Homo-oligomer: A and B are copies of this chain.
């Protein structure tokens, strides 16, 4: 078979593809595996149990089951879920949403593909406008979704704050950041995947005001954040207004298999997402919305997040940091402040090899992490730092983490002179 030029976009060079391939390599690895790559959420018993009861209820009810599996949902997504979600968000945050502000997609990655290509790229006035990422490291999944002829992202280098106890924190370098009409949109994940950074309310205020001033939409990727799943270990406020595009997901509640993304935005963008859903997939999957809708009217979803999901990951994060320090503390490492999400971001300062080489060496030993170099989409300079970090997923079972960290320690210790 011969393939069109479009095939180049789907090549093995794609970061997303490489990372997803790793999942398969890990599955087929002979010998013990520590899967610390990927973004799979943990299985949290109390939460999973509640979802399972809900699915039992659906499976025991002929009418509800028939509707969930047998009928196409609306291309904009499940009307009942959307109405209940708008009600819940208005009740909690007084955002003044109507159902016309919400669309469902087949997961956040699908949301990003639609949103980035609609808000950035080639414009009717002849200009090309990229998406500005005010702070990199930033989520690898953004990098490949662009269908325009030019690179869709422009990454901005952060400042690094060195903290006691081998910790550090990135901050948006607001002094060198210029937001204006050159950009189609500005995007931040909050908490940040891969670093676990939570950009502060003050940073977000500054970004938001600059965006509004120049009428550049601000995309907030809340896949791990607010208001659900709420995997944040410090106080932070959720934020939405008509200049904000808030991307949420059911995945990190523990429902990654269902592929349900949520976009909250001004009506014209929601209409285009609806059209995109129709053309790309007729309609999104109906399972996630039908499963979760009953947990919205009484805020049970938020209660699950507050009582089970956040505490689980906060405890796990502290444990993982302790274990990293135990295994790697004698090496010149720093760990990014863990303020949210499900990852530790470890910086091996002056690492004698690239993080990609380290990643390959670890993979051969059955320890799968992610090399940090994937997480700098659109950053043009040759900052050495980008080749000195790895991301590990601390949602993995503790025994797997413990074993993996031991092997990382041995491997890295042998690399430093």
A119 touches B1 (CB 8 A): yes
Measured CB to CB, the closest approach of chain B to A54, in angstroms, equals: 9
A387 to B266, CA, bound (A): 37
Knowing A1-B269, A281-B110, the reply to whether A118 touches B275 (Cβ < 8 A) is: no
A16 in the interface, Cβ–Cβ < 8 Å?
yes
Q: Tell me the A273-329 residues at the B interface (CB within 8 Å).
A: 274-276, 278-287, 290-291
A141 in the interface, Cβ–Cβ < 8 Å?
yes
Knowing A52-B62, A69-B51, A117-B6, the reply to whether A109 touches B280 (Cβ < 8 A) is: yes
B14 touches A278 (CB 8 A): yes
A113 touches B280 (CB 8 A): yes
A258 to B70, CA, bound (A): 8
For A280, the chain B residues whose CB sits under 8 A away are 109-110, 113, 145, 280
Q: Tell me the A1-38 residues at the B interface (CB within 8 Å).
A: 1-7, 9-12, 14, 16-17, 19-21, 23-24, 27, 38
Knowing A1-B268, A10-B272, A107-B281, the reply to whether A254 touches B72 (Cβ < 8 A) is: no
| Chain B residue, CB-CB nearest to A145 | B279
For A239, the chain B residues whose CB sits under 8 A away are none
Measured CB to CB, the closest approach of chain B to A17, in angstroms, equals: 5
Of B40, B43, B60, B285, the residue contacting A259 (CB under 8 A) is B285
For A12, the chain B residues whose CB sits under 8 A away are 275
A7 touches B272 (CB 8 A): yes
A284 touches B255 (CB 8 A): no
B43 touches A118 (CB 8 A): no
Measured CB to CB, the closest approach of chain B to A142, in angstroms, equals: 11
For A11, the chain B residues whose CB sits under 8 A away are 275
For A272, the chain B residues whose CB sits under 8 A away are 3, 7, 10
A and B contact pairs by CB, cutoff 8 A, 21 listed: A1-B217, A3-B269, A5-B121, A6-B117, A6-B121, A6-B147, A12-B275, A14-B275, A14-B279, A17-B278, A19-B278, A23-B74, A52-B65, A68-B257, A69-B254, A70-B255, A106-B106, A110-B280, A110-B281, A141-B282, A280-B280
Additional 17 contacts, C-beta under 8 A, given A17-B274, A48-B69? A3-B119, A3-B268, A6-B147, A10-B276, A23-B75, A38-B72, A39-B72, A40-B72, A43-B66, A55-B65, A56-B56, A71-B257, A109-B280, A113-B279, A145-B280, A285-B287, A287-B287
Q: What residues make up the interface of A, taking CB atoms closer than 8 Å to B?
A: 1-7, 9-12, 14, 16-17, 19-21, 23-24, 27, 38-41, 43, 48, 51-52, 55-56, 58-60, 62, 65-76, 79, 106-107, 109-110, 113, 117-124, 129, 141, 144-145, 147-148, 184, 215, 217, 251, 254-259, 266, 268-269, 272, 274-276, 278-287, 290-291
